[in-house]
Amino acid sequence: FSHPIAMEGEEILFSAAICGIPYGNQLGSENLLNYVEYLTALVPRTQETLLVRGDEYVKHGFLRQKTIEAYLYRAIEEDLFEVYYQPIYSLKEKCVVSLEALVRLKDEKLGAIPPDEFIPLAEQNGTITQISEIVLEECCRFLAKHVLPNPSLGIRTIHVNIAAAQCLNRNLKESILPVLERYHVPTHMITLELTERTAIEAPKLMLWHMQEFGKIGMGFAMDDYGSGNSNCSYLIRFPFREIKIDKNMTWSYFENPTAKIVIENEIKTIQKLGLPLIMEGVEKKEQSDALEALGVDMIQGYYYGKPMPETECLRYIRRMHFAKEEYGKS
């Protein structure tokens, strides 16, 4: 396996792994092959010799993954997903101007299953497409019922996360637009969030999607900026309308003096390009004040509210408006 094999002009590299599975028979033959896949995926791809041995801890992780995967299918069938909304606060307007929709999944036995755990599984098994449809439908229902009839809430858009698998579909627009039409939601009220990892998976197709959505007034925000091998080239290549700086970048800005210099420059570049900037992961007043002084436009973080169910979120926004008016009077 040390040399690539040529096939139709492409060089294909193969790798092999030797897996040790103590008491493999306890897993049942139907799970054994999946377990081998799970084990090999745990080893970094760059590692050349693979000798993997599954211990009890690894086996436990595998079985939890299987349980969650089975629950995902049930949750789709039985409509068990919930959508929470996290405020995006404008430092200039001093109010909540957008929300990010974040999916939630709970089970009596498993408790709350974090999206960081089930979204990657849903991406692997393809159920992400159905989950995204559920989330989008829920957002449009929420906008039609609460936001469109109440302009005084000041909510301009809901940010919805889209996954790589959705972007590989040329009919992405055709799968999204009818949902908005059904609820009479204007296209500018949904912003699609895309990570740089997703954008580079199929860059030409992604660029085409962005242009197509642009024609109907729907914009994209770059999510988790700075979490991957990000550099300013993404800002040049793709017509993003907003940039969201990843929460780990925000945290290192306040912890690491070198990171602070680098991030300050990134912020300046984004500002010079005229792109609205959202900093994620702001948890303290001092952090918000420091970013306001830098001219950052918007903040998303626990300081301005955690993700909440819709009723709580509406109550929260109204309370913020009330506090702003009272402050204005005094």
Distance CA 198, CA 280 (A): 19
Which residue from 121, 270, 204, 179 is spatially nearest to 192, judged by alpha carbons? Answer: 179
CB of 4 to ligand C2E, least distance (A): 34
CB of 224 to ligand C2E, least distance (A): 5
- For 168, residues 6+ apart whose C-beta sits below 8 A from its C-beta are 201, 202, 205
Three-class SS state of 225: strand
Q: Do residues 244 and 300 make contact, with C-beta atoms less than 8 angstroms apart?
A: yes
CB of 198 to ligand C2E, least distance (A): 9
Among ligand C2E, Ca ion, none, residue 20 binds (CB under 5-8 Å by kind): none
Stretch that binds ligand C2E, among 52-60, 211-219, 280-288, 320-328 (CB under 6 A): 280-288
- Choosing from 138, 196, 223, 266, the residue that interacts with ligand C2E (CB under 6 A) is 223
Among ligand C2E, Ca ion, none, residue 114 binds (CB under 5-8 Å by kind): ligand C2E
Q: Which helix (H) or strand (E) holds 192?
A: strand 190-195
Query: In this complex, which beta carbon is closest to Ca ion, that of residue 196 or of residue 223?
Result: 223
Three-class SS state of 246: coil
- Between strands 219-225 and 190-195, the pairing is parallel
Query: In this complex, which beta carbon is closest to Ca ion, that of residue 102 or of residue 317?
Result: 102
Residue 276 in the binding site for ligand C2E (CB under 6 A): no
DSSP H helices, the chain, are 29-41, 56-78, 115-125, 128-142, 164-167, 172-182, 196-201, 203-215, 233-237, 247-255, 257-272, 285-293, 310-329
- Choosing from 238, 301, 308, 310, the residue that interacts with ligand C2E (CB under 6 A) is 301
Q: Hey, which residues between 93 and 122 contact ligand C2E (CB under 6 A)?
A: 101-103, 114-116, 119
Residue 283 in the binding site for ligand C2E (CB under 6 A): yes
Query: In this complex, which beta carbon is closest to Ca ion, that of residue 59 or of residue 132?
Result: 132
Measure the N-to-C terminal CA separation of the chain; round to a whole number of Å: 75
**By the criterion CB under 6 A, which residues form the site for ligand C2E?**
86, 101-103, 114-116, 119, 132, 135, 161, 163, 223-224, 247, 280-283, 300-302, 307
